[in-house]
């Protein structure tokens, strides 16, 4: 017999977890099923963390499983609605602020570090802003709570136990393949294994990993979408000393630049003081670069890494932002045998390949050990190369040393922002009872807004039942 639920959540990332949590907090009797493509959190193990080499697990333990892309993330919670998604546009600024505060309280309840970076250093922040203004950079103020990779993992482990104890059914290793619709209303889902579950409320919270699948679903079901932004660029690695003032006072300096030549938006993103550059792999073994930092002293490195992302919004007839980003990453993978490319800024400026020999004598040692020395100009369009170079020169005025010969640039960092699914303020799509939230719907881009989005969609559904 096909089982029925009050709500089905597809995807157990922060969005799905916080939706399930909110349902059980407010309506403990609701029958909730969470269907997740990846493994339960205790079974999520990335072999690369031990061997240093990616084993191309299917599905990837870094991006799938309980806690989604959040489980091994650096766990930087952005406490401002200005960062990490479009909740303010959909819900209004005040409502988004309140939700972010509420989801933050849940992280604190489950053990998040109480300290917040970027709130008590007014004098120092004014100094950073003054330099940023001098370089035509905008400093976005965003207090940060840093979970750290290992503490974040523990917090999500506690959340998994809590959901299980509250009666939420968690089904792992079960990618959802189909969404069923009848008379314009959702009726249930079927997994790849062929198991069907019924519900007239289905939340799609599949993150970036599931965005391709959901895009196809939207086409099949006629759900309206609009092209998302393409964010593509590099991860920059420098010594901690170069970023020390910014790291100590802001933890994460969010700086935005509109480049002089092309007027493109370039921003810094996801800074990891004393962190490591990491490769992450998507379903088709596509290697893209990322970074994280451990909280524990013994895992800290002497380098800071951060992303430099060029944001492009294309117009008609373009409608495939994810494919565009993937094609650029594929080019880099093709040149590097499926691994991440690294180039020194000195070689980048001169337009020549970084060789093994030059990397070996570079003053700065890469933290991503299996990165392949190469030439980013064979990967990026000219326009993106110019944007990155101009941004590095502007940043050098705020924190001198970034534009040094030894600075490392890893490619390709790409953020797969899905096409934005058109949703109303309840996050309901044009199909009645079908809700789309989080990164996979193009609504959010970070842990805190994805979590807040989970809370808000659960509330919308509970309100619609009463």
- SS3 breakdown of the chain: % helix, strand, coil, rounded to 5? 35, 25, 40
CB 109 within 8 A of CB 162: no
The one-character DSSP state at 147 is -
CB of 373 to ligand FAD, least distance (A): 23
Nearer to ligand FAD, 309 or 359 (CB): 309
CB of 114 to ligand FAD, least distance (A): 18
Strand boundaries in 199-253, DSSP class E: 202-204, 225-226, 230-239
- The nearer residue to ligand FAD, 283 or 406, going by C-beta atoms, is 283
| C-beta closer to ligand FAD: residue 74 or 390 | 74
| Total Cβ atoms within 10 A of residue 416 | 26
Tell the smallest beta-carbon distance from residue 382 to ligand FAD (Å).
29
By CB neighbour count within 10 A (0-12 exposed, 13-18 middle, 19+ buried), where does 131 fall? middle
Contacting positions for ligand FAD (CB under 6 A): 10-16, 35-38, 63-65, 68-70, 73-76, 78, 84, 175-176, 205-210, 213, 270, 280, 290, 292, 438-440, 444-448, 450
Report in angstroms how near the CB of residue 360 gets to ligand FAD at its nearest. 27
Bridge-based pairing of strands 202-204 and 408-415 is unpaired
Least Cβ distance, residue 189 to ligand FAD (angstroms): 8
- Least Å distance, CB 167 to ligand FAD, is 20
Of 257, 414, 385, 259, the residue nearest 321 (C-alpha):
414
Q: Are 290 and 235 in contact (CB under 8 A)?
A: yes
What is the distance between the terminal CA atoms of the chain, rounded to a whole angstrom? 28
- Residue closer to ligand FAD by CB (options 70, 228) is 70
Give min distance, CB of 73 to ligand FAD, in A: 3
Determine contact, residues 319/227, Cβ cutoff 8 Å.
yes
Structure-token pair, residue 421: 């699914």
Q: How far is the CB of 401 from ligand FAD (least distance, A)?
A: 24
From residue 233, how far is each of 64, 351, 368, 381, 411 by CA, in Å? 23, 17, 17, 11, 7
Closer of 237 and 280 to ligand FAD (Cβ): 280
Nearest residue (CB) to ligand FAD, 12 versus 322 = 12
Contact 20, 9 (CB under 8 A): yes
All residues at 6 or more sequence positions from 378 whose CB lies less than 8 Å from its CB, including other chains: 331, 335
Q: Torsion angle of alpha carbons 171, 173, 174, 176, nearest 10°?
A: 110
Nearer to ligand FAD, 24 or 445 (CB): 445
**Nearest to ligand FAD of 10, 223 (CB atom):** 10
Smaller CB separation from ligand FAD, 118 or 207: 207
Smallest separation (angstroms) from ligand FAD to the CB of 126? 26
């Amino acid at each position: 017999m096909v089982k029925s639920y009050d709500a089905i959540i597809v995807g157990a990332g922060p969005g799905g977890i916080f939706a399930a949590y909110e349902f059980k907090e407010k309506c403990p009797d609701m029958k909730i099923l969470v269907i997740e493509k990846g493994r339960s959190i205790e079974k999520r193990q990335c072999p690369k963390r031990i061997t240093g080499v990616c084993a191309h697990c299917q599905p990837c333990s870094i991006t799938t499983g309980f806690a989604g892309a959040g489980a091994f993330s650096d766990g930087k919670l952005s406490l401002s609605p200005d960062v990490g998604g479009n909740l303010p546009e959909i819900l209004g600024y005040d409502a988004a602020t309140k939700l972010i505060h509420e989801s933050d309280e849940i992280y604190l309840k489950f053990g998040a570090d109480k300290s917040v970076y970027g709130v008590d250093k007014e004098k120092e922040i004014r100094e950073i802003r003054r330099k940023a203004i001098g370089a035509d950079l905008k400093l976005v103020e965003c207090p940060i709570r840093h979970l750290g990779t290992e503490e974040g993992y523990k917090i999500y482990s506690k959340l998994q136990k809590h959901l299980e104890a509250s009666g939420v059914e968690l089904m792992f290793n079960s990618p959802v393949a189909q969404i069923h619709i009848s008379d314009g209303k959702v009726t249930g889902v079927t997994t790849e294994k062929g198991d069907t579950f019924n519900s007239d409320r289905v939340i799609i919270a599949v993150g970036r990993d599931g965005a391709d699948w959901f895009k196809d679903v939207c086409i099949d079901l006629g759900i309206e979408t609009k092209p998302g932004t393409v964010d593509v660029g590099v991860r920059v690695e420098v010594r901690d000393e170069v970023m020390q003032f910014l790291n100590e006072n802001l933890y994460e300096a969010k700086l935005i630049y509109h480049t002089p030549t092309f007027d493109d938006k370039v921003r810094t993103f996801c800074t990891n003081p004393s962190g490591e550059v990491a490769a992450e792999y998507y379903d088709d073994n596509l290697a893209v670069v990322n970074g994280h930092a451990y909280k524990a002293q013994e895992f800290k490195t002497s380098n800071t890494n951060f992303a430099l992302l060029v944001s492009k919004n294309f117009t008609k007839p373009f409608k495939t932002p994810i494919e565009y980003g993937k094609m650029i990453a594929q080019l880099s993978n093709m040149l590097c045998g499926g691994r991440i490319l690294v180039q020194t800024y000195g070689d980048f400026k001169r337009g020549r390949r970084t060789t093994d020999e030059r990397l070996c004598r570079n003053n700065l040692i890469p933290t991503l050990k299996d990165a392949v020395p190469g030439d980013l100009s064979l990967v990026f369009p000219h326009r993106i190369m110019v944007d990155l170079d101009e941004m590095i020169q502007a940043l050098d005025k705020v924190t001198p040393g970034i534009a040094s010969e030894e600075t490392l640039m890893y490619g390709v960092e790409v953020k797969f922002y899905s096409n934005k699914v058109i949703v109303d303020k309840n996050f309901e799509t044009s199909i009645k009872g079908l809700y789309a939230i989080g990164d996979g719907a193009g609504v959010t881009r970070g842990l805190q807004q994805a979590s807040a989005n989970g809370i808000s969609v659960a509330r919308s559904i509970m309100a619609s039942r009463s």
